Amino acid sequence: MSNEAAREKLIFALDMGRGFDEAMSWVRLLTGHVGLFKVGKEAFTRFGPRLVEEIQKAGSRVFLDLKFHDIPNTVARAAEGAVEMGVAMFNVHALGGMSMMAETAKAVRETARKRELPEPVVLGVTVLTSLNDDDLRALGFSCSTAELVLRLARMARDAGLSGVVASAQDVEAIRKACGEGFAIVTPGIRGSARVAGDDQKRVLTAEEAIRRGSDYLVVGRPIQTAEDPVAAADELCREIARGLTAG
């Protein structure tokens, strides 16, 4: 598997809010070394659509990670805006329910067709990787994280979404339940060394996640905190390539 194919699967989490110029310095540094830049709540709240536009002008693609979760009509209208913004990927919370996800999928298809724009990958967020079984019990759920993830993944598939965001530990079960054409984006990817202050609980390395069947990997701190971020990104691409070969 080529490094280029592996690189398309690597998403860098551009979730720093300290300044627009700093954010764009990461884009300039890592363009050509990662496949997409994830713009989350921190960065988007501070910098807005301008950041998305500048990333696209730099020749890179954007994963808009705002996790829309509201009544169906509101999320569908927000999805239309994401399509018009030209993002390659965005997400909604699967816990918003079947109607919300189905209306979103329909709005994306219709807007892309009317505007003659590419359809973005639309993902359902299952269970945040910062949550484990104890956290779910505290929230009043009677099922495990694995059971809830699978239930939400099936619902997202049936609603017409492109895939889900899920922990690598849940990938094999999702793949079996939802099929090969269902995209799985995995956050919480780490290197062999733990990162100080890490709040993720269900994590795996890049190679392990790809071997289990993840399609895209979201990586933040292991690149941000590395002495040589470019070298760290390139090493993650090599890990992805090894995982693809093994798979």
When pLDDT is cut at 50, 70 and 90, the band that residue 2 belongs to is low
Give the DSSP letter of residue 228: S
Q: Is the pLDDT of residue 177 over 50?
A: yes
When pLDDT is cut at 50, 70 and 90, the band that residue 169 belongs to is confident
Residues annotated as catalytic (active site), given as ranges: 67
Give the DSSP letter of residue 70: S
When pLDDT is cut at 50, 70 and 90, the band that residue 15 belongs to is confident
- Condensed to tens digits (0 to 9), the pLDDT of residues 137-151 reads 999 999 999 999 999
pLDDT of residue 3: 75
Task: State whether the Cα torsion 132-136-137-141 is positive or negative.
Answer: negative
**Average of pLDDT values for 234-243?**
93
Mean pLDDT of the chain: 91
What percent of the chain lies above the pLDDT cut of 70? 92
When comparing pLDDT for 199 and 50, which is higher? 50
> Class of 3-246 per CATH?
alpha beta
pLDDT of residue 51: 96
pLDDT of residue 68: 98
A 10 A CB-CB count for 32 gives 14
Token pair for 127: 């269970």
CA distance from start to end of the chain: 11
pLDDT of residue 201: 46
Q: Is the pLDDT of residue 47 over 60?
A: yes
The Cα 51–Cα 57 span in angstroms is 10
**pTM for this one?**
0.91
The Cα 189–Cα 210 span in angstroms is 10
Q: 3-state class of 60 per DSSP?
A: coil
When pLDDT is cut at 50, 70 and 90, the band that residue 203 belongs to is low
A 10 A CB-CB count for 88 gives 18
pLDDT of residue 130: 84
pLDDT of residue 190: 67
The Cα 113–Cα 106 span in angstroms is 11
Q: Are strands 36-40 and 183-186 parallel, antiparallel or unpaired?
A: unpaired
User: 116-126: b or e for each residue (b if 16 or more CB lie within 10 Å)?
Assistant: eeeebbbbbbb
Name the residue ranges covered by the structural domains of the chain: 3-246
pLDDT of residue 247: 59
- Condensed to tens digits (0 to 9), the pLDDT of residues 58-104 reads 999 999 999 999 999 999 999 999 999 999 999 999 999 999 999 99
Mention every residue, 6+ apart, whose C-beta is less than 8 A from residue 110. none
pLDDT of residue 196: 47
